[in-house]
Structure 1
Amino acid sequence: MMRLLALLATLVFTHAAWAAGPVEVDRIVAVVNSDVVTRSDLRLKVEQISRQLTRQGTPLPADDVLERQVLERLIMEKLQIQLANETSLRVDDLALDRALGRIADNNKLSMTEFRQALEKDGITWDRFREEIRTEMLLSRLREREVESRIVVSDAEVSNFLAHPENTQSQEEFNLAHILLRAPEGATPEQLARLRARAEDVAARVARGEPFDKLAASYSDAPDALSGGNLGWRSAERLPGLFADAVTRMKPGETSPILRSAAGFHIVRLIDRRGGGDALGATQVQQTHARHILIKTSEVVSDGDARRRLLDLRERIVQGGASFAELARAHSADLSASKGGDLGWIYPGDTVPEFEQAMDALKPGEISQPVQSPFGWHLIQVEERRVQDVSDERKRNAARNALRERKLDEAYQDWLRQLRDRAYVDIRLEDK
């Protein structure tokens, strides 16, 4: 009798649910090899990236365009995670806990308070942990699969130093770009369609549509959703294709369509600055400096990082606190264990934003908070000296410049091969 009643109850419930119509709980929007991307995964990522674009002031693309861009990012993330898992690359819990601990410390919170703050903002602790683990994993994968395999030969270094334009200019360029990636082994028909698409985007740029919005809508580069911005770079740190184009451009101008092995590029020169002596100099000024780095994240905004550094600066300037001790306690950089000491720095050793702020300081002075691609810095200059630049130093600088130039191209090529070898079935339009 009890079994019969249970069966009847089930039938009644099933009939009621059927009568009310289907209710979608979740569905698959993409199959990536043996893994899937669900509608809920996509929705959460779209909301997160929309908030980031709004904070950056980047115009949001149309909803369907943004959704497809974010889906492609999730697909690429899945592919990289799969490769990491297949090759036994891991981020263990100890390394992850240390990273989370640094984030909590940077926010002046205990781990309990940090978790509570996340949950108050609607971010579950488990999800946040896995997002940080994924960021660390992808960084290690790129280092192993791309950066560690870049080789710069002695002949390339000698050839680089033999050209005066590579050694006598410190001019820097602030760029943004749009990449329309070509599949590996693309047919002439595929390239023709891709070229036509690039021409359409270039025409829209010429008509005055916001470049950053078009990059977020159409670019296949990893930086697409940040408006395609590459930041300030010297010519030797740019891919050769870009360097050849931008040295002839004025700020505000856009390149013609450029063709590389990765696909078709459109480059916008936002600004240019500097000039003068570089690797060709026989003597250069070195700076001995310290810094405190606060990294930004989903829970540490630019404003939060800047306010924390202003507070630390006040403690040093007005309260007599030790810069080195505060660096040990608060900096997220590897130099924290040395009190933030960076040693003697040559021109070009640091990112342009950091170097420009450091060069403006007198020995003993402490900067205001400075933003760079790595986060926010507080910089203290200890002393300066002028040193001869040896041939070995010149060659090392040239080798580093060539590595930088090759890195972007190699990374783009690696991503393209990874995508082309994968089985991907997009079901965004399925009902």
Structure 2
Amino acid sequence: MSNRFLRGAAILATALACGSAGAQGLGLKTGPGPSGAASPLLQTPQLPATPVEALPQTRPQPDSDGIAAVVGSQVITQYDIQLRLRAAEEQIRRQGAQMPPLAQLRAELLNQLIDQLALAQYAQENGITVSNDTVDRAIAQVAAGYKLTPEQFRQQVTSQGLGWSVYKEQIKREILIGRLRERDVASRIKISDQEVDDFLASQAKQPLSAQTQIQLAQIFVPLPSQPSAEQVSEARARIDAALAKLRQGRDFAKLAAEYSQGPEAKNGGDLGVRPANQWPRLFIDAIRGLKPGEISAVIRSPAGFHILKLVAEQGAQTPATTAMQSQVREIVLKASGGKAQESAIKELDGIRHAVEKGEVQFSAKARELSQDVTSAKKGGDLGWILPGELPPALDAALNRLNPGQVSQPITLPGKVVLLQLVDRREHALAPAQERAVARNILLQQKEAKDFDELVKDVRARTYVRIPSADS
């Protein structure tokens, strides 16, 4: 089995465990959202500090066990950075992007890992925990997505040179950071009516920009880094065969599943949604002039041959005519503060763990315990909710969930709330509903900005030592 299937495994496990805040809240069908903490050099629509997204072809040989940095109580070794450097180089090559100078890339990776360790330590010091069961469930869901047993998935990870304990620790750190972001950033944001008015007025006047949201799908036939003439010929023949069938009117998603050899093939070739300036320039040039639903000619990148489909294009942060509705359940416990609030949080956290383990049904607990009389009678069901229709703290929590997941306990005036996201669906917006979507967009913008500030603050207060090259 090709090791390309593992690209994004850390990302997927984290998204399953703590949800995603990015384009989902905008009604865009994509995976984990952009992080405000990512640097421009390595910015991808992923999570904060860069995990091992593209595992290396061969295990890098550590030149030493030297220290790259000390972060609080933890050490980053030169080997840690070497492993991530190989992975980042592979990812950049496969995206067809220009390779930055090695020293610059290394510095970016080191700084991102420092931020990640600092945030994870801060989260733990402030009472946020992640159980081994949570990590194991997240990984098991990823393995199931690849139609592998957990043991088979573990073998694939370790065969690519990444120790299993290292991989699990990476996932645990990402979940910690996701929960920290939800508790200390998202739950505290408020959006005023005036801010919504100003946003809608400004968007009505704003032309499309480099931040235009673009959704692409691809059929991808890879090439090795130094292909022979025969390998190039075989790959070109395969991609040309796919193009010929597309021009006969065949379904793109079905042909992607048949011909594409990228990890997204099983999803019909869907690459998700990104701002235009986060796609490789080669891709943007290839789709220039296309309308949604149209396909490009065959293009060649350093990674191989591609056929691109422009799935959708939407103006930068402009409320769409459709949005994703969320079917939501809640459990509400009244608590005025102090010990009552602490007790409610503890009780709801216990319910969350029990639901995650499959020991209880959320709806049954809602009927039994919830103190919101109206929703309790319906098993906590709130029906289908648009972004912006709930209080900001609840909206932010929903943005970070995938269907079936349960939020952390959320503290509101006079009560503590637990949410379960049941499902999502696309919904045509009435004009009045655009305000709710606009509010949610502003919520996410503020969350990204405030999370950046939290990263800077935590980093400034964390002991960090980076040994000089000659020390």
Calculate the TM-score normalised by the size of structure 2. 0.41
Calculate the TM-score normalised by the size of structure 1. 0.45
